Structure 1
């Protein structure tokens, strides 16, 4: 999972980064709200950790922007020295899912991150998953739709399933590469594009179809889904 941390205190940021990395996730820190918001416009994350007091804005303001611009799915936790009930209410009403007071207790911080990630990204162990007419079968690495059954490579299957599990969500190129090929893998950009192109062709996910993989120039890819009988993509 990819986690972004908004924290202007270098020592606090280092401690939180160590916790996240120790959990096996990737982590990126930002000292100002402006830097994080700029990155959120082009990158994808699985969870945000927001400090309240910042040089240019506040955690609740960034949370409110995130909810307005990116929707309700991205988990957010606010960390702060504030502990009054009114502050907790304000933080949660801004769009945060959880609230922790400093100084952070490492074990509790880790547990809260795990809980938020588990809730937002439940691990599926099902051999077969159905998305509309598309039936993904892990055991055979195949996808069935209509009268067709298409066998995919391991990477193609993982990439296709990830897109279908996140319909309508813009997923950055780096996010897709890390999720499918691994955090430390060096994957050429054209490798991702080739896999996307093959998925479009094999699963008929072209623009104009009910399900279509759309490229967002310079950012990444998104699976668009149109209701049956609705306008074309």
Structure 2
């Protein structure tokens, strides 16, 4: 998962980044709220960790902007020195999902991050992803269309998993590279385009099949469901699958 950390205290910011990266997540640091908001308009994060007292724009103002302008339900964790009950109530009231006070306790922060991600992205624990006629078996790492298996290379399957877990969401190039190739990846950007082109061809991700893969120039990729889904298509009894759409 990719996590944005907003804090004007560099030592604390570095500590939080170290904790989440040791937990296997990618971290991106911001020292000003305005910089984070600009990045959110062209990039994707799975979680925000936000300090309250910031220069220029407070953490509360940042969260209010996120709730008003970011379509996805992006989880937010406040980590701040303010620990009065009224502060907690205000933070949760403005849209934060959780709240903890400084100084940071390593195991508590890791546990809260894990819990928030688990609640916000339950499909990551499912065994199958279904969208239209497509099905991804996350255990066997196999892809199917109308019951017919389509052979994908490991990186292609991981890209498909990212896309099918978050249909209609624009996934930035950095997000996809870090998620599929690793946190410290220096893979050329054209490698992503090559793999995406191959994935689009193998799965035939086009409108007539009800699912379309769209490239947004300079930003990333979006998987779009082009066929309306009826109520009786939203569950697959007995499969343990999550149906995306």
TM-score with structure 2 setting the length: 0.84
Separation in structure 2 between the aligned mates of residue 46 and residue 138 of structure 1, nearest angstrom: 20
Distance 1:35 1:46 in 2: 17
- In the TM superposition, 1:65-214 aligns within 5 A as 65-122=65-122, 123-124=124-125, 126=127, 128-138=128-138, 141-146=141-146, 148-206=148-206, 210-214=210-214
CA contact under 8 A between 2:156 and 2:199: conserved in structure 1? yes
Aligned residue in 2 for 1:25: 25
State the secondary structure of the residue aligned to 1:213.
strand
Please state how far the C-alpha of 1:167 moved relative to its aligned partner.
0.7
For 2:47, the equivalent position in structure 1 comes to: 47
In 2 relative to 1, CA 152–101 (structure 1 residues): closer, same or farther, beyond 3 Å?
A: same
Change over 3 Å in CA distance of 1:131–1:170 after alignment to 2:
same
Alpha-carbon offset, residue 212 of structure 1: 0.9
Q: Shift in Å at residue 71 of structure 1? A: 2.7
Question: Aligned-pair distance for 1:20?
Answer: 1.6
**1:42 aligns to what SS in structure 2?**
coil
Q: Mind listing any 5+ residue stretches in structure 2 that lack a counterpart?
A: 231-245
| Aligned residue pair count | 229
If the length of structure 1 is used for normalisation, what is the TM-score? 0.88
Gaps of 5+ in 1: none
**CA 1:77–1:94 in structure 2 vs 1: closer, same or farther (change >3 Å)?**
same
Report the CA distance between 1:186 and its aligned residue: 2.5
Contact kept, 8 Å, 1:130 with 1:136, in 2: the verdict is yes
Query: Is 1:36 aligned to 2:41, yes or no?
Result: no
- Structure-2 separation of matches of 1:107 and 1:228: 44
Q: Is the alpha carbon distance of 1:32 and 1:117 closer, same or farther for their aligned partners in structure 2, counting shifts above 3 Å?
A: same
3-state secondary structure, aligned to 1:24:
coil
Q: Kindly tell me: are residues 24 and 138 of structure 1, through their superposed partners in 2, closer, same or farther at Cα, counting changes over 3 Å?
A: closer
> CA 1:87–1:138 in structure 2 vs 1: closer, same or farther (change >3 Å)?
closer
Name segments (4+ residues, structure 1) moved above 6 Å: none
Distance change (3 Å), C-alpha of 1:222 and 1:27:
same
State whether structure 2 residue 217 is matched by structure 1 residue 222.
no
- Listed one character per residue, the Cα deviations across residues 74-111 of structure 1 (whole Å, up to 9, x for unaligned) are 21101222223332122112211101122332322222
Asked if 2 retains the 8 angstrom alpha-carbon contact of 1:140 and 1:151, the reply is no
For residues 12 and 22 of structure 2, the distance between their equivalents in structure 1, rounded to whole angstroms, comes to: 15
